[in-house]
Amino acid sequence: MKILYLCLTWFLMLGCSSSPTVYREPTSANEELPPLAEYVAYVKPIKKPLFQLKGPFLRTRTRVPGPVNQEDYGKKLLTMLGLNPQCPLGENRPNCPAPIGDADYERVQTERAAEFWLILGPNEQIKITAPLVKGKAPSVTYKGVYPADEDSEGFPLIGNSIMEVAHVLAELPFSTRRRITQVDLLSSRSPWDKIYTKIYQRPADEPMRAYMQALPFPLGVVIVPPQRKDNLPIVETMSSTFAHEAGHVWSFQCFEMNSNSEEWQAWREAMALDRNFVSKYAKSSFLEDTAEMALVYAATLSWRGTSKGREYEALLSKKFPHRWAILEKTYSDCGLGK
């Protein structure tokens, strides 16, 4: 089976983001709904090249990032999932499905990277970071090639270019894009793969491998690890993945980083009342359900005011009335300090 998309949060038990090697299936779990792929073909391409956009497009400087505190990340994530971060290694109580030990935090990102800013308006910019090439910032069209790792069967890894990411971000609806403040292109697999493999109890021969992940910490950062060439996503599918990841960010910002919060409980109640799932992946956990619903919601935003948009909105709001109401109320600015 080929990896379609992984996202960190996408693969949560699920599938995507992180993937567990949970492969994302862009099909609907509800036979009455069109395949999800139809919804995510929503991008209205910007006809003009990016360099014609107002303001400086890309600037660069190099920086040495501080080490990422993976322990903080891991603990926040487990709390988010309602798991006990203090579970001792080796125990497997019901509330300790994924004992995490110090060895799981061994990957620390210290590689130097170049910083770029995608400037999309007077008050709108997204930072994109990419690994240096021979000590210098890469060109914006450079697709990095990196050594094979333990799960790539000897195949070298290849990454998306700055320009690809910039184009996809620029095409996203504003209220989706604004949830993403930084995109980090990595030179090796996600440092969190190991942790997700454990949390989701993936078999040893099917480890999680993230294609994209929205970090619960710091919020707003999305990482994009390189993939085997035959798994590298094409730009057309990256937009839906970014919209899915932005959905995680929206939920983390709006519903709090605690799965027992009132807002998360309300979402789960809405799931129970709607009794529909927008995709198979959405069924994997309430976190992925949230991101998948946010994805299809985002898919309607670019079409608002058109007959196609009205058609999608009517269908989705009928199938998912309770969750749709929450999205309508909170998707655009909840948790953004406005």
Burial class of residue 85 in the structure, from the number of CB atoms within 10 Å of its CB (0-12 exposed, 13-18 middle, 19+ buried):
middle
Measured from the CB of residue 226, what is the shortest distance to Zn ion in angstroms? Answer: 19
Exactly one of 4, 16, 195, 293 binds Zn ion (CB under 5 A); that residue is: 16
- Kindly state the tokens that stand for 154: 């000897």
Measured from the CB of residue 135, what is the shortest distance to Zn ion in angstroms? Answer: 35
Our CB check for Zn ion shows the closer of 241 and 300 to be: 241
Our CB check for Zn ion shows the closer of 19 and 152 to be: 19
Q: Is 186 in the site for Zn ion (CB under 5 A)?
A: no
Q: Is 7 in the site for Zn ion (CB under 5 A)?
A: yes
Kindly give, in sequence order, each residue whose CB lies less than 8 Å from that of residue 94, ignoring residues fewer than 6 positions away.
Answer: none
Measured from the CB of residue 268, what is the shortest distance to Zn ion in angstroms? Answer: 16
Q: Is 296 in the site for Zn ion (CB under 5 A)?
A: no
Q: Is 17 in the site for Zn ion (CB under 5 A)?
A: yes
Q: Is 9 in the site for Zn ion (CB under 5 A)?
A: yes
Q: Is 10 in the site for Zn ion (CB under 5 A)?
A: yes
Contacting Zn ion within 249-288 (CB under 5 A): 288
Q: Is 291 in the site for Zn ion (CB under 5 A)?
A: yes
Measured from the CB of residue 251, what is the shortest distance to Zn ion in angstroms? Answer: 10
**Stretch binding Zn ion (CB under 5 A), from 7-15, 26-34, 113-121, 184-192:** 7-15
Our CB check for Zn ion shows the closer of 161 and 323 to be: 323
Measured from the CB of residue 134, what is the shortest distance to Zn ion in angstroms? Answer: 34
| Count of residues in contact with Zn ion, rule CB under 5 A | 7
Q: Is 295 in the site for Zn ion (CB under 5 A)?
A: no
Our CB check for Zn ion shows the closer of 10 and 297 to be: 10
**Stretch binding Zn ion (CB under 5 A), from 27-35, 74-82, 289-297, 319-327:** 289-297
Our CB check for Zn ion shows the closer of 125 and 181 to be: 181
Kindly give, in sequence order, each residue whose CB lies less than 8 Å from that of residue 166, ignoring residues fewer than 6 positions away.
Answer: 50, 57, 58, 116, 118, 128, 140
In the complex, the residues that contact Zn ion under the rule CB under 5 A are 7, 9-10, 16-17, 288, 291
